[in-house]
Amino acid sequence: MIGRLNHVAIAVSDIDAATAVYRDTLGGTVSDKVPQPDHGVTTVFVELPNTKIELLEPLGEGSPIQNFLDRNPTGGIHHLCYEVDDIIAARDHLKAEGARVLGNGDPKIGAHGKRVLFLHPKDFCGTLVELEEA
């Protein structure tokens, strides 16, 4: 059901400093910062030959990333994003298998302009999983 790894998301408290590490120290190609108010984050994507790194900084009050950073002040891996061909079929299959979809279960539009869902980390070996429709 799952396809390729779309990205690994890393929560950071200072997206400019993190971008500099990936661009200047590691030599990565990075995108511009993009506020994602519907998700409470600002994002920067680092392009890799086989996937992407998504840097996430809290945006606004109640950002879910802020809660993560409160528990992990130096930041860290926040979630893994896998592609699926049909997000509704994937959701229905996963729910039938007992997996919990976060939120109301309806896909939202993600940072790439595609439909996404998040799955409860307790159902996936302690890892928050994002599914993105390919």
Give all domains of the chain, ordered by start, each with its CATH number.
5-133 (3.10.180.10)
- pLDDT by position in tens, the chain (length 134): 899 999 999 999 999 999 999 999 999 999 999 999 989 999 999 999 999 999 999 998 889 899 999 999 999 999 999 999 999 999 999 999 999 999 999 999 998 899 999 999 999 999 999 999 99
Which residues have CB under 8 Å from 53's CB, separation 6+?
7, 8, 9, 10, 22, 28, 45, 46
Question: Is 130 known to be catalytic?
Answer: yes
Measured distance CA(57)–CA(69) in Å, rounded: 9
CB neighbour class for 48 (10 Å; exposed up to 12, middle 13-18, buried from 19)? middle
Set 57, 83, 130, 133: catalytic member = 130
Q: Which amino acid is at 29?
A: T
